[in-house]
């Protein structure tokens, strides 16, 4: 762990890897919920760092942090957000082949896992979710798509993500959801924020003749 001062009231904590960053972020959330981090306004995780902003005594906290022993990375804090998914993505069969299973079994594996939002980025409302385990990591596509539709559920490396809006992207698309990931009229605007527990639940695909689809 390396703790860096950022301005007058912030600390940037660098961790060894993503798992360590998730565990440290979870520990910060637990301690803040218990009232042990008074005055800290924001806790912002990233792939291998966590930023604490609004720290009343940054020098004191910076000296304490290396001595902390983080608890479980995926501690069960708060409720679970369920995201209904139609597992109809164009890359589902390819992902299943990489896993050495049938597409139906790939759906079962993905929908039976409990995920946690490790951090957010790329676009407003886009969360990087972990929970599948190393054996199910998949590479990004060799050629990114110029347009991925909003609501696409996708995999890349150790992460699952949902595109909140149409954009270019190179992740493997395994499904679609009608869930609204980012809504400025909602509080909070993001459906998925760091630390949120998430489950993807299989939803029936639209039947032929309904006029639904993309």
Q: E strands, the chain, where? A: 2-6, 10-14, 42-45, 49-53, 80-85, 115-120, 127-130, 145-148, 152-156, 159-162, 167-169, 172-176, 197-202
Percent of the chain with pLDDT over 90: 77
pLDDT digits (tens, 9 = 90+) for 153-165: 999 999 999 999 9
Query: Residue 212 pLDDT > 90, yes or no?
Result: no
What are the backbone angles phi and psi of residue 92, rounded to the nearest 5°? -60, -45
Give the burial string for 137-154 (b: 16+ CB within 10 Å, else e): ebeebeeebeebebbbbb
Q: How many whole angstroms separate alpha carbon 42 and alpha carbon 154?
A: 28
Q: Which helix (H) or strand (E) holds 32?
A: helix 18-33
Helix axes 103-112, 92-99, angle to 10 degrees: 90
Residues 99-128 have pLDDT tens digits of 999 999 999 999 999 999 999 998 999 999
What was the pLDDT predicted at 209?
Answer: 42
Average pLDDT, the chain: 90
pLDDT more than 70, % of the chain: 92
**Tens-digit pLDDT profile for residues 31-80:** 998 898 988 999 999 999 999 999 999 999 999 999 988 876 555 556 89
Q: Assign 19 a pLDDT band (cuts: 50, 70, 90).
A: confident
Q: Find where tokens 């054996």 sit.
A: 135
Q: How far apart are CA 166 and CA 146, in angstroms?
A: 10
Which comes out higher in pLDDT, residue 158 or 212?
158
CA dihedral over 67, 10, 197, 98, signed as positive or negative: negative
Please state the φ and ψ torsions of residue 127, each to the nearest 5 degrees. -105, 145
* pLDDT of 214: 33
Q: pLDDT at position 73, please?
A: 57
Rounded to an integer, the average pLDDT of 2-28 is: 93
Residue count (the chain): 214
């Amino acid at each position: 762990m390396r703790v860096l001062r950022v301005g007058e009231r912030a600390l940037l904590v660098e961790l060894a890897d993503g798992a360590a960053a998730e565990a440290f972020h979870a520990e910060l959330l637990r301690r803040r919920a218990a009232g042990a981090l008074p005055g800290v306004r924001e806790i912002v995780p990233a792939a291998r760092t966590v930023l604490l902003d609004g720290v009343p005594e940054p020098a004191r906290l910076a000296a304490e942090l290396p001595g902390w022993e983080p608890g479980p990375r995926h501690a069960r804090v708060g409720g679970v957000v369920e995201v209904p998914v139609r597992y109809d993505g164009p890359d589902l069969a390819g992902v299943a082949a990489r896993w050495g299973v049938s597409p139906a079994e790939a759906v079962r594996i993905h929908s039976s896992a409990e995920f946690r939002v490790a951090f957010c980025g790329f676009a407003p409302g886009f969360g990087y979710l972990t929970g599948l385990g190393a054996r199910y990591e998949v590479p990004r596509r060799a050629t990114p798509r110029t347009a991925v539709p909003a609501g696409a559920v996708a995999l890349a490396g150790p992460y699952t993500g949902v595109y909140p809006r149409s954009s270019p992207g190179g992740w493997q698309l395994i499904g679609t959801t009608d869930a609204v990931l980012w809504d400025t009229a909602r509080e909070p605007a993001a459906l998925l924020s760091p630390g949120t527990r998430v489950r993807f639940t299989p939803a029936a695909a639209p039947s032929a003749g309904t006029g639904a689809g993309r």
